[in-house]
Amino acid sequence: MSGQASACGPALVTTARARAETRGTAGVTRQTGAANTAARGFHTAFGFVEEEVRLTLPLGGGSGGGGATSGPHREHDRS
């Protein structure tokens, strides 16, 4: 990973947190696969707390691939 790429993650987390706080949201949620220990460690270093475990039973018949995924963050409104 280049130095520039490694600097992007912290900047994105800092920006997402600031925007969420400005909007009055209760928190920011990220999803990643259980096996992605690098992403899990990165996020916990910024104060993210692991809340749940998602279990998937891949059936092998679909073209979308089952298993761990990483999605965009979601903001939770306080209302």
For the chain, which residues make up each domain, given as ranges? 1-49
Distances from the Cα of 34 to the Cα of 5, 59, 61, 64, 68, angstroms: 23, 19, 22, 19, 7
Rounded average pLDDT over 58-79: 57
Residue-wise pLDDT for 37-60, tens only, equals 999 999 999 999 999 888 889 998
The reply to whether the predicted model has a pTM over 0.95 is: no
Burial of 39 (C-beta count, 10 Å sphere; 0-12/13-18/19+): middle
Least confident segment among 36-45, 58-67, 69-78: 69-78
